Amino acid sequence: MSTETVPAAPVTAALCIIGNEILSGRTKDKNIGFLAEELTGIGIQMAEVRVVRDDEAEIVAAVRSLSERYTYVFTSGGIGPTHDDITTACIAKAFGAKVARHPEAMRRLTAHYAHSGVEFNEARKKMAEIPVGATLIDNPVSAAPGFILGNVHVLPGVPRILQAMVAGLKPGLVGGPQVLSRTVACTVGEGTVAEGLGAIQARYPAVEIGSYPYFRPGGVFGTSLVLRGTDAVLLDAAAEEVRDLVRSFGGELIDDESAA
């Protein structure tokens, strides 16, 4: 029986974006990049993203599949008061739960609309319908709560509101070891360093090395070599080898922070 320390299993997440408006191109997504950065920062690795139509069968299938595979699932979109907001019903269906008017959600929405001069009508009361057994997610912007059911965290699609709600959720999310990164940006084409880079990757299996060519206005181009891993010492050693490789081809190293 081995007594070696087994590295902790990575904590993973998936995002399911529910929205015809993203798929038609009318609305440009801003939630993938935001959530990816936030989760990376607390040791949760975003492992998959899906964008699905406002269609019950599609949403239920995607949420079930992602919920089984990843530690956390986040959904965005489809929890408003209109006929096209079907996310809550779909999540309930995915977990075999009933939906009921949630007293605390009603209280928050009642208070919110009492101060707004806007009628808290039947359509808006739909935003207080929550799957039975779910926990509410605070919405400090527009009151209508999200919810957590199983490992699925249901959020709205409007980036400003989603961002505020994720800020509130973060202290309750349990990440694994944080994935650190080092970027070596350089003026050498990626094909030039490819062979040497592959050799460094083979020597550092615990470091994930990605190569990303970039093109800036004015014909400036180069390569960002990105090293990711949980061990800072290994990461620094691998990054130094990558810098040596770039120098061996007469390449110029660019200040990492300014790299594309």
User: Which residues in this chain contact its own copies in the complex, by CB under 8 A?
Assistant: 17, 20-29, 32-40, 45-54, 58, 80-85, 118-119, 121-124, 126-127, 158, 160-161, 179, 181, 189-195, 197-198, 201, 208-215, 226, 228
The smaller minimum CB distance to its own copies, of residues 96 and 117, is found at 117
CA proximity to 257, closest of 185, 171, 177, 170? 185
The smaller minimum CB distance to its own copies, of residues 35 and 137, is found at 35
For the CB of residue 160, give the shortest distance to its own copies in the complex, in Å.
5
Query: Nearest 5°: phi and psi at 259?
Result: -70, 150
Token pair 């990605």 in the structure block, residue: 210
For the CB of residue 52, give the shortest distance to its own copies in the complex, in Å.
6
The smaller minimum CB distance to its own copies, of residues 132 and 214, is found at 214
For the CB of residue 2, give the shortest distance to its own copies in the complex, in Å.
26
Q: How far apart are CA 125 and CA 108, in angstroms?
A: 11
Q: 97: which DSSP letter?
A: -
For the CB of residue 187, give the shortest distance to its own copies in the complex, in Å.
12
The smaller minimum CB distance to its own copies, of residues 172 and 210, is found at 210
Q: Name the burial class of residue 23, with classes exposed (0-12), middle (13-18) and buried (19+) by CB atoms within 10 angstroms of its CB.
A: middle
The smaller minimum CB distance to its own copies, of residues 46 and 91, is found at 46
For the CB of residue 170, give the shortest distance to its own copies in the complex, in Å.
14
Q: How far is CA 160 from the centre of its chain?
A: 15
Q: How far apart are CA 254 and CA 259, in angstroms?
A: 7
Token pair 């979109």 in the structure block, residue: 77
